[in-house]
Amino acid sequence: MAAKKKSTPRTRTVKVTAPAEPKSPGPIEHLKYDILSLVAFTLAVFAYVSLRKAQGLPDDSRIIGWLGTGIKAALEYAFGDGAVLGPLFILGWSAHLGINKKTWSTQMWGLSMLGLVGITLFAVYKTPSGMNAWEAGQASLGGGYLGGSMAYLLIQLVGNVGLGILALFGTLLGLLLLIDQPAATVFKRLQQGALQAKSRLDEVMFYQAAAEESGSKTVTAAPLIIDSAEASSPREERPPVPIVDIQQPLPVAAALADIEPVPPLQLIKTRPRQEEHYCLPPLELLNDVSNERLIDKKNIKESITVLEDTFASFGVAVKVNQVSCGPAVTRYELTPGAGVKISRIISLTDDLQLNLAAPGIRIEAPIPGKAAIGIEVPNRKILSVGLRSLISAPAFKKLKSPLAFALGEDISGNAVVARLHDMPHLLIAGSTGSGKSVCLNCIIMSMLYHSTPSELKMVFIDPKMVELTIYNGIPHLMTPVVTDPKKASLILRWMVREMEKRYQLFASSGARDIQRYNQISTDKLPYIVIVIDELADLMMVAPVDVEDAICRLAQMARAAGMHLIVATQRPSVDVVTGIIKANIPSRIAFAVSSQTDSRTILDAGGAEKLLGKGDMLFLPVGAAKPFRIQGAFVSDRDIEKTVDFIKAQFNLDEPVNEIEELELADNEEADGTDDELFWDALKIFVDGKKASVSLLQRRLRVGYARAARLVDIMEERGLISEQDSNKRREVLIDEEQFEKLYARNKLC
Please state the rounded mean pLDDT for residues 672-683. Answer: 78
Share of the chain above pLDDT 90, in %: 10
In whole angstroms, give the CA distance from residue 265 to residue 225. 33
What would the pLDDT profile of 184-209 be if each residue is shown by its tens digit? 777 777 777 776 666 555 544 444 44
What would the pLDDT profile of 529-573 be if each residue is shown by its tens digit? 999 988 888 888 878 788 888 888 998 889 999 999 999 988 888
User: What is residue 114's predicted lDDT score, i.e. its pLDDT?
Assistant: 83
The residues pairing with 330 across neighbouring beta strands, listed in sequence order, are: 325, 377
In whole angstroms, give the CA distance from residue 576 to residue 430. 12
Neighbour-count burial for 241-275, b at 16+ CB within 10 Å, e otherwise: eeebebeeebebeeebeeeeeeeebeebebeeebb
If you classify domain 385-648 with CATH, what class do you get? alpha beta
Domain 242-278+659-748: give its CATH architecture: Orthogonal Bundle (1.10)
602, pLDDT greater than 70: yes
Say if residue 676 is exposed, middle or buried (CB neighbours under 10 Å; 0-12, 13-18, 19+). exposed
145, pLDDT greater than 80: no
22, pLDDT greater than 50: no
Local confidence band at 51 (pLDDT 50, 70, 90 cut-offs): confident
527, pLDDT greater than 50: yes
pTM, two decimals, is 0.55
Instruction: Delimit the CATH 3.30.980.40 region(s) of the chain.
Output: 297-378
User: What is residue 593's predicted lDDT score, i.e. its pLDDT?
Assistant: 86
- 254 or 325: which carries more pLDDT confidence? 325
Q: In 15-105, which ranges are continuous DSSP H helix?
A: 32-53, 60-79, 85-100
Please state the rounded mean pLDDT for residues 242-268. Answer: 37
Please state the rounded mean pLDDT for residues 711-720. Answer: 84
Residue 560: φ, ψ to 5°: -80, 0
Instruction: Delimit the CATH 3.40.50.300 region(s) of the chain.
Output: 385-648
Min mean pLDDT across 110-114, 324-328, 591-595 is at: 110-114
Tell me the CATH number for domain 297-378: 3.30.980.40
CA 135 to chain centre: 70
59, pLDDT greater than 70: no
Min mean pLDDT across 341-355, 433-447, 471-485, 663-677 is at: 663-677
What would the pLDDT profile of 562-601 be if each residue is shown by its tens digit? 999 999 988 888 888 888 888 888 999 999 988 888 888 8
Instruction: Delimit the CATH 1.10.10.10 region(s) of the chain.
Output: 242-278+659-748
The residues pairing with 549 across neighbouring beta strands, listed in sequence order, are: none
User: What is residue 627's predicted lDDT score, i.e. its pLDDT?
Assistant: 86
What's the one-letter identity of residue 414? Answer: N
The residues pairing with 322 across neighbouring beta strands, listed in sequence order, are: 333
What would the pLDDT profile of 272-306 be if each residue is shown by its tens digit? 444 557 888 988 888 887 666 667 788 888 888 88
Local confidence band at 438 (pLDDT 50, 70, 90 cut-offs): very high
